[in-house]
Structure 1
């Protein structure tokens, strides 16, 4: 094995350990957050808990897909773009279901749970920041998802304070809509990154780009 091959193998092992750790953190906090969301009836917290499950799936897919060809990575990237839309659809459905009766969720539970989510997602973001260029659109997907989750968690904390002051359930619904917008934007970025990898794969095989 050459020095370059050894370095590449070491980098792959490091990336595998990183994404597996991130997947484990996300799966553990998913159960925490969805339990609280169901207990207090929060739309935004429910949508954010689905984000944790989405991040788990994305990082596990990266773990399995390492070593694949550029074309296979492009396909995996586009699959991830679709996966990122799942929490957006979940948030939209919950918001629609609660629209006629926007009862305010417990603000203390919101703030405490979102604070824990900020800590988990910040750790995941910092871990993925070091490896985001190592597997193209796949690690880009994981990094964008974790980054967006930190923003959403901070917004939930602010929303919890507003809810405590106003006693209204509308801030929870509005934040649910914002989560939809964030996830659609992330999905678009990942789809475009996967498209670039697809073009690169075609160039390597001598095919004309489409």
Structure 2
């Protein structure tokens, strides 16, 4: 039994080491591509490239967070997945806002620069996707990371298609439509990740400890009945018996005269 547990622990440690190595590689790729696409997006005035660059930044943050919770509990990993889902949701809203802004300003992007940078991003994300593919079923965080990489490939392909359409038509609509399509994809994936992470978060919640408040004068239940000595009072002659529920009564103030059994008995 001990040998089996040791083997499982060793296999888990090896898996975590492989995951960490892969995540560090894709983290570096996404940081570099974020800088490249962000600068190119501003130069080309392309909503699609800017959206893709923010996608790269979001993925880099996701990978860094996944590395942070790699050796932590299931609940911590579920919390990280919730954060990632929320980040993707926010990203989708920002892309929609940028697409609306470009539509109002009627700015046509540079098709040539869009095509070159989009192709470079597709190659980089294809490499990341291949690295993450074998880890897509390891746990929820690796699955969400793989989904991010898959979304990247679709977004990069859309940017390349949009660049070709802008070059053919001279219109800004292909760039706007691609931006909105990327936003819709990320909003859908964000909802999927948040839903799965919330289920795992609730399932891994710690069981509440039952700590009942001790009764008056009793700290722990005892196996044998408690014997009470007769009270030294005017009723000392009467037998004092412990009733079952008297321990739950509120204590009387010491300075208040007690009426009842301790009051002088009326003479017949």
TM over 0.5: yes
1:173 corresponds to 2:176: yes
1:187 corresponds to 2:198: no
> Quick check: 1:92–1:176 contact (8 Å CA) kept in 2?
yes
1:156 corresponds to 2:159: yes
1:141 corresponds to 2:144: yes
> Quick check: 2:137–2:143 contact (8 Å CA) kept in 1?
yes
Matched residues in 2 for 1:188 and 1:57: separation?
18
Give the unaligned 5+ runs of structure 1.
Answer: none
Alignment TM-score, normalising by the size of structure 1: 0.92
What secondary structure is seen at the aligned counterpart in 2 of 1:100?
helix
Matched residues in 1 for 2:201 and 2:86: separation?
17
How do 1:38-187 and structure 2 match up within 5 A? 38-134=42-138, 136-187=139-190
Matched residues in 1 for 2:199 and 2:135: separation?
19
Deviations along 1:133-164, whole A, 9 cap, x unmatched?
22x22112211111011011111111111110
- Equivalent pairs, count: 204
Structure 1 residue 206, shift from structure 2 partner = 5.5
> Quick check: 2:29–2:124 contact (8 Å CA) kept in 1?
yes
Matched residues in 1 for 2:153 and 2:171: separation?
24
> Quick check: 1:102–1:173 contact (8 Å CA) kept in 2?
no
How do 1:4-19 and structure 2 match up within 5 A? 4-19=8-23
Q: What is the Cα-based RMSD across aligned positions, in Å?
A: 1.5
Matched residues in 1 for 2:116 and 2:91: separation?
21
Matched residues in 2 for 1:47 and 1:88: separation?
9
Matched residues in 2 for 1:106 and 1:94: separation?
17
For CA contacts below 8 A with separation 6 or more, give which structure has more relative contact order. Answer: 1
> Quick check: 1:133–1:139 contact (8 Å CA) kept in 2?
yes
Matched residues in 2 for 1:189 and 1:137: separation?
11
Which of the two has greater helix per residue? Answer: 1
What secondary structure is seen at the aligned counterpart in 1 of 2:115?
helix
Matched residues in 2 for 1:85 and 1:27: separation?
20
1:33 corresponds to 2:37: yes
How do 1:192-203 and structure 2 match up within 5 A? 192-202=195-205
Matched residues in 2 for 1:156 and 1:102: separation?
18
